[in-house]
Structure 1
Amino acid sequence: MSRSRVALAVAVFGFLGAVPSTRAAPTADPADNMSSSTLASALDEARILAYWTPERMASAIPAVPPTTSGKAPISLKPVAPENVSRTVDGAEPRGGLAPLADIHTMSGKVFYTDGGQNYVCSGSTVYSNGRRVVFTAGHCVHGGGSGRNWFSNWAFVPNYHSGSPHGTWTSTSLWSKNGWTNNGDRAYDVGAAVMNDRNGTRIVDAVGGQGIKWGAPYGAYIYQFGYPAAPPFNGSQLLFCQGGTWNEGGFPSISCNMTGGASGGPWLESYGQNYWAYLYSVNSWMFWDSDPTMVNKWQGPYFSYDTAGSLYDAVKDL
């Protein structure tokens, strides 16, 4: 890819206004949802909040993006006509916080533990009936593939910048698709977390939430956000790339030089037209020529009902 096509990651300052495989299907439909309860009591929540000290957050390393191409067959389950494509609007925060809330507050860093190592990803709040949902990549909630586990100590920090004025939020459950949890297939590399309330307030009420759409055409112009933490970046700022996407083997693709740590960050369509925008995909995996510090392209899972839409429907009322 020509280096001239690479969109540079830019710091954000203020609000800016598959073809089915012939492989046999796995036992569980890859389009089905799975969940894992991560917190069972107030004691667990207190433990996780105490665990994520500033030092542990600063030393968490970037999540490892998936390496397996999209191979899981797309589900043949019938999809209701209204779900082939659908658009859900976002929402401003409640309680008079709008002047203090923008893309910073709806985007944030994800922290979790896997095998004794602390990792970092990115994510975004999404409006839902329950107003408790954060969307991210599947590989930011589960290891992907048979024998891998759901992650522990899962937390989301909106507007992270060596901490956050909106605090650390813990999850009550993590969700993804069988295509990711059983097969590690990046065609289904999308995840969601249902968040615990904080001081009696739901997360979307506190910081706002993006809209979401699925079944949209390829070729959208999007803003891609994340907290890249691998060199040459250090994970301290929310950065973005912008540009037109294209269809590459069924995956939305965009030129961008963000590195690891940006995984799970939102691709936002219609950004700047309203207070919120529409989640179009999430950062899944990246490409470089020879030097991993010189990333030139990212791809994300295509948001269909089988991927993002059914996942959203599974968590929207929680």
Structure 2
Amino acid sequence: MRIVRVTLLTGLGVALAVAGPGMAAAEPLTTMSTGATTIAEQAEVTAYWTPDRMREATPLDLITVDPTELSAEVATGEIQTVEPTDSPIRTTSFPNGGGEWTGGGDVVTTAGRVFFTMDGRNASCSGNAVTSGNSSTVLTAGHCVKYQGNWHTNWVFVPGYHDGQRPYGTWTAASTHAIPQWVSSEDMNYDVGAAVVNPLDGQNLTDVVGGQGVTFNQAHNQAMYAFGFPAADPYDGEKFIYCSGNSIKDPLLTNDHGLSCDMTGGSSGGPWFLDFDEATGTGLQASVNSFGYIFLPGYMFGPHFGSEAQALYNEVENA
């Protein structure tokens, strides 16, 4: 089994085991978790997220890798280093490795911060409202709904978050979901999660903030935009950050997208768009912010939205 060291964009350092041929993952017991369903539960979760708790919700500390250990892994071939110049990056007129989004448009309202309690600690991710049959679907990363065997609690989505403000309210999750491969073995290639949020003030989510389109089984090495709310240094989670440029195919894992980007913990789950129009702030979501390699700084990676992600979306959008 090959061991690849990555850093989840919640700020968690992990050693990811990539299974070889014939190493099938165990069947998951469930691919969803029930959230706040009653009016009383929704009120309790909403009240839990005070401004102070949101401000203090930060990614877990980054776990660093001993450089000598990393060098040994590279030397033995367990990790193949990839220089940016070796990657199939095409020239583009809009490269941006990380900056505040000031363009406006629909993405300002559809994207937002995700807050949850994980193992007794409050943390944050990012997410995005998408068009769906239930008008209540948020896409995010798998580890933003479940990690290390546990589903997160007190899960809420705050669209349009900025500088501590919640202009469109706090939307509680009725249920959270993830791809079976993530639920069973936390396979990084399938780090995709979703939530169905409860109505707020009698309205459904996308009727209030709009929703972005979703696309599946698209090619690699295309122009993409990534958005999120990084909360780890040098960011603080208060600004809406984006990266843009031509993506690469992950040099190690099977099918992930890569993008030159300096977003940090807290940006996990933020959307990646194809065919993004800066004037309208609209595009087709094709991935989410997921992880970065410690040995390849300056790059962020996100899972390819394939048939498994499509099955998750089909399940969730009508939940």
- TM-score, L = length of structure 1: 0.76
| SS of residue paired to 1:270 | strand
In the alignment, is the contact (CA less than 8 A) between 1:64 and 1:260 conserved in 2?
A: no
Deviations 1:235-255, CA, capped at 9 Å, x for gaps: 101110000111123211110
Aligned to 1:251: 256
Indicate yes or no: 2:173 matched with 1:167. Answer: no
Structure 2: tracts of 5 or more residues without a match: 1-17, 65-103
Residues 63 and 207 of structure 1, relative CA distance in 2, 3 Å threshold: farther
Aligned to 2:35: 38
| SS of residue paired to 1:154 | strand
Q: C-alpha separation between the residues in 1 aligned to 2:200 and 2:194? A: 18
Aligned to 1:276: 282
CA RMSD of aligned residues (A): 2.4
Aligned to 2:54: 57
Q: C-alpha separation between the residues in 2 aligned to 1:103 and 1:207? A: 9
Q: C-alpha separation between the residues in 2 aligned to 1:64 and 1:314? A: 34
Deviation at 1:65, TM superposition (A): 9.4
| SS of residue paired to 2:46 | helix
Aligned to 2:25: 26
**Which amino acid in the other structure matches residue 121 of structure 2?**
Q
Q: C-alpha separation between the residues in 1 aligned to 2:121 and 2:185? A: 23
Deviations 1:128-163, CA, capped at 9 Å, x for gaps: 11110000000000014xxx1111000000011102
Deviations 1:30-81, CA, capped at 9 Å, x for gaps: xx971111123111100001000000000001268999xxxxxxxxxxxxxx
| SS of residue paired to 1:182 | helix
**Which amino acid in the other structure matches residue 178 of structure 2?**
S
**Which amino acid in the other structure matches residue 279 of structure 1?**
Q
- TM-score, L = length of structure 2: 0.76
Aligned to 2:12: none
Deviations 1:111-141, CA, capped at 9 Å, x for gaps: 0001110000000001011110000000000
In the alignment, is the contact (CA less than 8 A) between 1:65 and 1:285 conserved in 2?
A: no
Deviation at 1:316, TM superposition (A): 1.3
In the alignment, is the contact (CA less than 8 A) between 1:63 and 1:140 conserved in 2?
A: no
Deviation at 1:275, TM superposition (A): 5.5
Aligned to 2:94: none
In the alignment, is the contact (CA less than 8 A) between 1:66 and 1:284 conserved in 2?
A: no
Deviation at 1:182, TM superposition (A): 1.5
Deviation at 1:220, TM superposition (A): 1.5
Deviation at 1:23, TM superposition (A): 3.2
Deviation at 1:260, TM superposition (A): 0.7
Indicate yes or no: 2:150 matched with 1:149. Answer: yes
Indicate yes or no: 2:127 matched with 1:130. Answer: no
Residues 52 and 266 of structure 1, relative CA distance in 2, 3 Å threshold: same
Q: C-alpha separation between the residues in 2 aligned to 1:304 and 1:241? A: 22
2:122 maps to which of 118, 124, 127? 118
In the alignment, is the contact (CA less than 8 A) between 2:225 and 2:244 conserved in 1?
A: yes
Deviation at 1:102, TM superposition (A): 2.0
Residues 193 and 247 of structure 1, relative CA distance in 2, 3 Å threshold: same
Structure 1: tracts of 5 or more residues without a match: 1-18, 68-99
Residues 185 and 65 of structure 1, relative CA distance in 2, 3 Å threshold: farther
Deviation at 1:20, TM superposition (A): 8.9
In the alignment, is the contact (CA less than 8 A) between 2:108 and 2:281 conserved in 1?
A: no
| SS of residue paired to 2:147 | coil
The 5 A counterparts of 1:210-249 are 210-248=212-250, 249=252
Deviation at 1:165, TM superposition (A): 1.1
Q: C-alpha separation between the residues in 1 aligned to 2:281 and 2:127? A: 18
Residues 121 and 22 of structure 1, relative CA distance in 2, 3 Å threshold: same
Aligned to 1:90: none
Deviations 1:262-304, CA, capped at 9 Å, x for gaps: 00000011111756211110000023559xxxx5001111110
| SS of residue paired to 1:165 | coil
Residues 50 and 210 of structure 1, relative CA distance in 2, 3 Å threshold: same
Q: Percent identity?
A: 38
In the alignment, is the contact (CA less than 8 A) between 2:247 and 2:257 conserved in 1?
A: yes
1:285 maps to which of 288, 291, 294? 291
Aligned to 1:194: 196
| SS of residue paired to 1:309 | helix
Deviations 1:86-126, CA, capped at 9 Å, x for gaps: xxxxxxxxxxxxxx962111000000001110000000001
In the alignment, is the contact (CA less than 8 A) between 2:260 and 2:298 conserved in 1?
A: yes
Aligned to 2:144: 140
